[in-house]
Structure 1
Amino acid sequence: MIFSRKRAGAGRHSRDERTAEVLEHDAEESAPALVRGPYDVSEAPDGVQRLDLGSLQIPAIAEVEVRVQADPQGVIQQVVLVHGENALQLGVFAAPRSEGIWDEVREEIRQSLLRDGATAQEVEGEYGTELHARVRTADGPTDLRFVGIDGPRWMVRGVFQGTVAVDPSTAGPLAECLDGLVVDRGQEAKPVREPLPLRLPREIADQAAGEAEAASAAEPRQV
C-alpha cells in the first residue's frame, strides 16, 4: 500500500547549535535565539497543521507531497517528502538519554557506502556534520546528502536526493518540513537505534484497507 498526499497551505547539541538571531543586539543586550526543529513533542510550537504519523508529525507545507509506503495494517515502512525534482526520506530512531548517536550512525553509513563502491565524505553543513555521497544506480550516478539531528532520546535521519543533495540552498519547502518536524518518542523503553513506530492515521488506514478489499473483490476469479 502506498499513500500519497500533497500538503496544501501553509546530537541534541546539533539542534541547539542551529539557532538564529532574531533581533540585533548591542554590548549590553543580546537577542533571544530561535531554535529550529525537529522538535520534541514536549516543546513543539502550537497552532501548526501537521500530518500525524505516530512518532513523526510532519508540518503541512505548500507543494510538498508526502509519500508513505505502508503494509495492510497501516504500519509505515518508508516516508518520503517530494518537492519538484527533490526528495527527502525521513527516519526516526530511539537513542539513549545520555548522548546522541548520529556520529556513530554516520560513520557506519559511510563505511557501508565505501564497501559498495560509492564515494562518501563528511561535510560541515547547517545540520552539523553531514555525509555527502555519490552512488551508482540503474539510472546512473546519484548524489545523496545524509543529515542527522539528535534529540532527547531520539534521532532523526534525513536523506536528500536531487539537486538539493549538492546544493542545500535549493531545499526550500523540504527544509521547512525538516525544521518543523515533531517527534513523539513515547515513554516506553526501546533498544538504541530501533526505528520508532510510524502508522497511518486511522481514517486513512481504514480508507486504504477498504479500497484494497474492493479491488480484491473486483478481480476476476480463476476457475
Structure 2
Amino acid sequence: MFGRRRKKSEKPEGASDEFETEQDASDESAGDAADETSAARVKLPPAPRPDGPWDLDEVTDPETGRVNLGGIYVPGVEGMELRVEVAGDAIVAATIVLQDSAVQLQAFAAPKREGLWDEVREEIGSGITKQGGVVDEVEGALGWELRAQVPVQLPDGKNGVQVVRFVGVDGKRWFLRGVISGQGAVQPEAAGLLEQIFRDTVVVRGDQPMAPRDPITLKLPDDAQMVPEGVQQETVEEGSRFAGGLDKLQRGPEITEVR
C-alpha cells in the first residue's frame, strides 16, 4: 500500500538513553528491510501469461475478432467506443469505452529478461501520493494492480477525486499497461468485460531496436477515418508516461467531491 507515512509519536518524557538507542536501531533495521524488499521487486523476469495478454507469435490469427492498431490488436466488443490518444504526431494509446466504464491500453518496449511492472507500480504509486492521492496495491483478477484515488478538479472548480485502477503485464520484450476508470474502477467486480479485453489484447513489439519504456507506436485501422473532436490529445511528459491518461477519460460517477 502506498500512502503518507504515519508521523512518529513523540518520545515519552523521561525516556532513557537506552530506550532511544534501541528505538533508533529498530528504525534503522526496518529501513534496511524496506530497501531490501524494494530492491527484490525490480529486475525480475516476466511472469507466465497463461491467459494473456498475448505476443504476436502466440496467436494464429490476431485479426479475428480484433481491431488492428499496428502495435496492438484490440478485441472488438459489441457497443464499445474506440478512441486513440496522440503525443505529437504519434498515436500512443487506445481507449475502449463501454457504457460507464473505460480502459486505456498502452504498450511499451521492455528488456528481454526483465519485467517492468513491479518497478512501474512503485513509480506510479509514489507519483500519486505526492499529489495527495491514495493508492492501494492489491492482487486482483489481472495480478498485482494499483487502486488509486487521484485528486482532480471538477468542472465547477471544486476539488474531487477520481477512482482508477492501474493494471499491467510483462510480455516478451514488451509491457502492456491498462488504466481502468468509471464504474469498472469503483466496482472492480463489475469490470469483467474490460479485464477480458485487456487479457485478449495482442502486442506487436516488432524487431526494431527500442529503448526500454519507449511507447510502441500505434496506427489507425485501414478503414478508419480521423474525427478531430474524437481524438484525445495528450502531452506525454518525461518521467510520467506510465501515469498518463488520467484526465483524458470521460468523467462519470467515479468522481466525487471532496469537502
Which TM-score band (shorter chain)? 0.7 to 0.9
Point out the structure with the larger strand share: 1
The code of the aligned residue for 2:226 comes to A
1:93-135 deviations in Å (ceiling 9; x for gaps): 0000011110011100011001111111211112221111101
Matched, 1:175 2:217: no
Question: What is the TM-score when the length of structure 2 is the normalising length?
Answer: 0.64
Out of 119, 126, 129, the residue aligned to residue 114 of structure 1 is 129
Q: How does 1:1-223 map to 2 (within 5 A)?
A: 12-13=46-47, 15=49, 35-46=50-61, 48-70=64-86, 75-139=90-154, 140-204=160-224, 207-208=225-226
SS of equivalent residue, structure 2 residue 47: helix
Cα deviations across residues 6-45 of structure 1 (Å, max 9, x unaligned)?
Answer: xxxxx63152xxxxxxxxxxxxxxxxxxx31110000025
Q: Deviation at 1:58? A: 0.4
Letter in 1 for 2:184: V
Per-residue Cα deviation, 1:108-165 (whole angstroms, up to 9, x for no partner): 0011001111111211112221111101212321111101100010000001111211
What is the alpha-carbon distance in structure 1 between the residues aligned to residue 191 and residue 211 of structure 2? 32
Percent of pairs identical after alignment?
Answer: 40
- Which runs of 4 or more aligned residues in structure 1 lie more than 6 Å from their structure 2 counterparts after TM superposition? none
Distance 1:163 1:130, change over 3 A: same
User: 1:31 — aligned with what?
Assistant: none
Q: Secondary structure at the match of 1:114?
A: helix
Distance 1:125 1:109 in 2: 17
- Structure 1 Cα separation of the partners of residues 93 and 105 of structure 2: 8
Q: How many residue pairs end up in the alignment?
A: 179
Contact 1:102 1:150 in 2 (8 A): yes
User: What is the letter of the counterpart of residue 134 of structure 1?
Assistant: Q
State the distance in 2 between where 1:163 and 1:71 align.
27
Q: 1:166 to 1:71 in 2, by over 3 A?
A: closer
Deviation per CA, 1:33-88, whole angstroms, max 9, x where unpaired? xx311100000253722111111110111122111134796x31432111111111
8 Å contact 2:107–2:175 — kept in the other structure? yes
- Whose Rg is larger? 2
Mapped contact 2:137–2:145 kept (Cα < 8 A)? yes
Using the TM superposition, name which of 87-96 and 121-130 deviates more.
121-130
Calculate the TM-score normalised by the size of structure 1.
0.73
- CA distance in structure 1 between the partners assigned to 2:163 and 2:48 by the alignment: 23
Q: Who is 1:20 aligned against?
A: none
CA distance in 2 between counterparts of 1:134 and 1:82 reads 20
Q: Deviations over 1:158-181 (max 9, x none)?
A: 011112113222113212211110
